[in-house]
Amino acid sequence: MTEEKKIPYKIYLEESEMPRQWYNVRADMKDKPAPLLNPKTLQPMTFEELQPVFCDELVRQELDDTTAYFDIPQEILDFYKMYRPSPLVRAYCLEKELDTPAKIYYKFEGNNTSGSHKLNSAIAQAYYAKQQGLKGVTTETGAGQWGTALSMACAYLGLDCEVYMVKCSYEQKPFRREVMRTYGANVTPSPSEKTQVGRDILAKYPGTSGSLGCAISEAVEAASVKEGYRYVLGSVLNQVMLHQSIIGLETKAALDKYDIKPDIIIGCAGGGSNLGGLISPFVGEMLRGEADYQLIAVEPKSCPSLTRGKFAYDYCDTGMVCPLAKMYTLGSGFIPSSSHAGGLRYHGMSPTLSKLFDDKYMEARSVEQTSVFAAAQQFAKVEGILPAPESSHAIRVAIDEAMKCKETGEEKTIVFGLTGTGYFDMMSYAKFNDGIMSDYIPSDEDLAKGFASLPGIDL
């Protein structure tokens, strides 16, 4: 068997083997994802309408669903070289621990200071803003990985960085806040008095601890009122999936180097940035009829947009200032429980991933957080890496699939995305260690409340 060729614990690509182009999966989709809509006119957003929000090149990338490959600018390639290629790790120790005939690999994106894959798109978005001569960018952050990544990218390029951080994270995750500040970012707890939408939300819900949707609204408004600023977003968007395709392209190159063909590819899914990036080149092969894979999106049972959501046009943010996107969604009015995987609490899902899911290229599973932390701990003990709660959703299902192989005797090759480390999530681990972590599954009534906030547009 080809897999029996001596495979190292970690497959590193040489610098010369690193991808020099991003791959745009939409180019190979016969049925394209539905366009973003102007929330006022309900017409597809035009280049000119998006221009005040995003910098020009990013608008082009956002709207382009025909160009398959985009050259990665040299300055971004150089930045990538500081922390990429990330290793594709053969989980020999986990396989042994599980006593499974399955072969398990994970693409580890956590070995950079942002602690996750978010840096791949942060540097790209900051670069194009810099190229356009802008002064700075604004963004929101929930768990803090994206804000950290953007702070790092902006520090590197000498760009201003304003981060609206969901208030409960700002208070509960002072470490993340300080990493951003160390990189020179201006961090504001959201909702804040700095924006109209923030003031409105504070008036309506005094004492609220904030939400990602609300922080997005504030960051978009802040960019629109400041000369020389644009808004940037770490997930959901097509441009993000494009930049994150570096994950999948490297994974595929590393697998190809050893003639390995995966059977199952697994990723956690919040807004879809990691999963979309990981599966891009593989789903591209499926779309072109060249290969077939089992692709699995894993989401928390507490925020089940793919497994229990609706495929419909919805607002991307609470303040309803952003374009509408057709996606799997729980409704922008859905209030997720205080799960420990802050990065998976978004009410919607990447429109492109949503379309691929709807077209049956991908399946989805939802898992409970205590089982996720149990998988995280099991993984950490044998593989060394302490994973982020978000990433551990993928570990849970990878272990589940490997255990199925143990039952059936199948030697499947499983690849999963290990998006990041859990170093800033230790208080969540403490709850797990102390046996006081609880699970929350929204009732049908809870979901109905979220669905009631859908705008009811069907084109």
The yes or no reply on residue 9 touching a second copy (CB under 8 A) is yes
As a whole number of angstroms, the distance between CA 115 and CA 342 comes to 14
**By the 8 A CB rule, do 356 and 283 touch?**
yes
The yes or no reply on residue 69 touching a second copy (CB under 8 A) is no
Q: Shortest distance, CB of residue 79 to a second copy, whole angstroms?
A: 8
The yes or no reply on residue 324 touching a second copy (CB under 8 A) is no
The yes or no reply on residue 93 touching a second copy (CB under 8 A) is yes
156-195 binders of a second copy (CB under 8 A): 156, 174-175, 178-179, 181-184
Strands 310-315, 324-329: pairing is: antiparallel
The angle subtended at Cα 19 by Cα 17 and Cα 24, nearest 5°, is 160
As a whole number of angstroms, the distance between CA 24 and CA 447 comes to 33
The yes or no reply on residue 112 touching a second copy (CB under 8 A) is yes
Binding mask 129-158 vs a second copy (x if CB under 8 A, - otherwise)? -----------------------x--xx--
Measured from the CB atom, the residue of 176 and 345 that comes closer to a second copy is 176
**Within a 13 Å sphere around the CA of 158, how many CA atoms are in the beta-carbon half?**
2
The yes or no reply on residue 228 touching a second copy (CB under 8 A) is no
- What residue spans of 142-237 are helical by DSSP H? 145-157, 167-172, 174-182, 196-204, 212-225
CA dihedral 112, 376, 438, 443 (to 10 degrees): 80
Considering only 6-14, 50-58, 137-145, 399-407, which stretch makes contact with a second copy by CB under 8 A? 6-14
Considering only 107-115, 190-198, 207-215, 351-359, which stretch makes contact with a second copy by CB under 8 A? 107-115
In DSSP notation, 293-307 reads -EEEEEEETTS-HHH
As a whole number of angstroms, the distance between CA 332 and CA 315 comes to 6
The yes or no reply on residue 111 touching a second copy (CB under 8 A) is yes
Considering only 52-60, 68-76, 314-322, 384-392, which stretch makes contact with a second copy by CB under 8 A? 384-392
By three-state DSSP, how is residue 233 classified?
coil
Kindly tell me which residue out of 71, 225, 433, 459 binds a second copy, with binding defined by CB under 8 A. 433
At residue 458, what are phi and psi to the nearest 5 degrees?
Answer: -135, 115
The yes or no reply on residue 429 touching a second copy (CB under 8 A) is yes
By three-state DSSP, how is residue 91 classified?
coil
Count of CB atoms within 10 A of residue 24's CB? 24
Q: Shortest distance, CB of residue 155 to a second copy, whole angstroms?
A: 4
The yes or no reply on residue 99 touching a second copy (CB under 8 A) is no
Q: Shortest distance, CB of residue 98 to a second copy, whole angstroms?
A: 15
Cα–chain center distance at 265 = 16
Q: Shortest distance, CB of residue 426 to a second copy, whole angstroms?
A: 4
Measured from the CB atom, the residue of 183 and 416 that comes closer to a second copy is 183
> Token pair for residue 133?
């001569």
> Token pair for residue 299?
């989401």
Residues that bind a second copy (CB under 8 A): 8-10, 12, 14-15, 78, 81-83, 89, 92-93, 111-113, 115, 152, 155-156, 174-175, 178-179, 181-184, 377, 380-386, 421, 423-424, 426-427, 429-430, 432-433
